[in-house]
Amino acid sequence: MLEVNDLNCIRDERTLFDGLSFSVTPGDIVQVEGANGVGKTSLLRILAGLALPNGGEVRWQGRNIRADRAGYHQDLLFLGHLPGIKSVLTPFENLRFYQAINQPVDQQAIWLALEQVGLLGYEDLPVAQLSAGQQRRVALARLWLQQAPLWILDEPLTAIDKQGVRSLTTRFEHHAERGGMVLLTTHQDLAVAPQRLKKVRLSEHKVGTA
């Protein structure tokens, strides 16, 4: 379980959110909503352990995430706004490099991941030659390679076509069905089972859950 307790975030002397509390349990898909500038990305960076809150705490399996950062990050897959890939490498090389950090390289799994995101035929091109949407797909292919229980994803559906959105949504549901947890920001409506979907709404100086 991921627990957010009385979280407070101040940026540039402006309170983005205060008193924010919610939990993410196995099987949940949690969508963080709010207009641009209300702190969605700041929240995700705090939840991923990449930034400190101004108050409150984030707990994973009952412990503050800063008590065992290495252990927490082993259980976490975080994808931010930037794709986080190397432009001089090909999609296949990027995924092989990523997989080698976390587990033994499985080339068959990499080919399957490329197929799932529609990049077969582009696997040998340098990422710098791909479109923004294709570069985003290279990063998203990690969702088919990583078995971490907690996924934190910042606008994963940006620059993705309708077929890609359907494929990703199905992947989110499959992960949740297996006891995983997905927390993401997106301005799109998520076509997932209503009983799985939770929403956290951010607005300036106010927070809410549904």
The pLDDT, as a whole number, for residue 110 is: 96
d(CA 135, CA 146) in angstroms, rounded, equals: 18
pTM comes to 0.91
Residues of the chain by 3-state class (helix, strand, coil), percent to 5: 30, 30, 40
Beta strands in the chain (DSSP E): 2-11, 14-24, 29-33, 55-60, 63-64, 76-79, 150-154, 181-185, 197-203, 206-209
Beta strands in 61-180 (DSSP E): 63-64, 76-79, 150-154
Q: Which domains does the chain have, with CATH numbers?
A: 2-209 (3.40.50.300)
Q: Could you list the pLDDT tens digit for every one of the 210 residues in the chain?
A: 999 999 999 988 889 999 999 999 999 999 999 988 899 999 999 999 999 999 999 999 999 999 999 999 999 999 998 888 999 999 999 999 999 987 888 999 999 999 999 999 999 999 999 998 899 999 999 999 988 999 999 999 988 888 889 999 999 999 999 999 999 999 888 889 889 999 999 975 455 554
